[in-house]
């Protein structure tokens, strides 16, 4: 199992969010009792991301900062869940190296509650 994130980009405006799944702390807050963040994190496949860029559905894209943090995945996060959030296993894989103690506790809870 590997971290699915290929790279992270930032954007000022996202016009069409249909191809995205909520990720990072936003998804972790959904699955556990950790507090959510005001920042918006999204996951999208590299292929769908390229389409949105070409159709001008994302504005102000850069590698430094923006209103939205976009995780560009090696595969499509939509494949693993029908909810608005990335699935718990891939969420765990994206956060496994996070050194924040609160995040580590929430991840342990998340992985222990997964049905194998």
- pLDDT tens by residue, 36-91: 999 999 999 999 999 999 998 899 898 899 999 999 999 999 998 899 999 999 99
Q: Where are the domains of the chain?
A: 5-113
List C-alpha distances in Å: 36 to 29, 59, 75.
5, 25, 25
User: pTM value?
Assistant: 0.90
Query: Is 70 exceeded by the pLDDT of residue 116?
Result: no
- Residue 23 zone, left/alpha/beta (φ > 0; ψ -120 to 50; rest): beta
Kindly tell me if the per-residue pLDDT of 19 is higher than 90: no
pLDDT at 10 over 90: yes
What's the alpha-carbon Rg for the chain, to the nearest Å? 14
């Amino acid at each position: 199992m590997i971290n699915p994130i290929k790279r992270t980009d930032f954007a000022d405006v996202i016009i069409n969010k249909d191809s995205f799944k909520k990720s990072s702390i936003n998804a972790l807050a959904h699955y556990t009792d950790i507090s959510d963040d005001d920042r918006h994190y999204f996951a999208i496949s590299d292929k769908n991301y390229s389409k949105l860029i070409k159709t001008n559905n994302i504005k102000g894209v850069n590698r430094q900062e923006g209103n939205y943090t976009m995780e560009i995945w090696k595969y499509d996060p939509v494949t693993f869940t029908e909810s608005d959030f990335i699935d718990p296993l891939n969420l765990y894989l994206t956060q496994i190296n996070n050194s924040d103690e609160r995040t580590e506790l929430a991840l342990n809870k998340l992985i222990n509650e997964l049905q194998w």
